[in-house]
Amino acid sequence: MRWIKSLLWMGAFFFAIHFSIQNRDEVTLRYSIESHQWFEVTKVPLFLVILCSVFLGVSSGDRRPLWSIPTQRTLRQNQKIVKRLEQEIQSLRGPTSDQPSFLKKEG
């Protein structure tokens, strides 16, 4: 499964490179309202405009931003930390049996 994901990413990367090579024409970006011009950017490569637009569209169309998606590695690290902290709490409590029933671990 991991190598399939790698192949898909490689394919997307090579597509982006090929697309960029074929769309190197320079364009001018302008934004104006009525007679007031807000900005004008000249000599921007066309592929840059298109790829940035696609990236912004995909990242804003998702239900959560890309930077907030936790990775599997982060989840595993957090699970290990929780387990270590639970063991530390248990060792600090000691083998007392006077704990309320809702605090006792079953198992």
pLDDT of residue 97: 58
Q: How confident is the prediction for the chain on average, in pLDDT? A: 81
Structure tokens at 47: 């592929």
Cβ density class 34-66: b for 16+ within 10 Å, e for less: eeeeeeeeeeeeebeeeeeeeeeeeeeeeeeee
Tell me the per-residue pLDDT of 56-98, one tens digit each, with 9 for 90 and over: 887 777 666 556 666 777 888 999 999 999 999 888 887 665 6
Contacts for 24 with CB less than 8 Å, ≥ 6 apart: 45, 46, 47
Q: Which two tokens stand for residue 57?
A: 């569209």
Question: Residues 1-17: what's their mean pLDDT?
Answer: 88
pLDDT at 81: 94
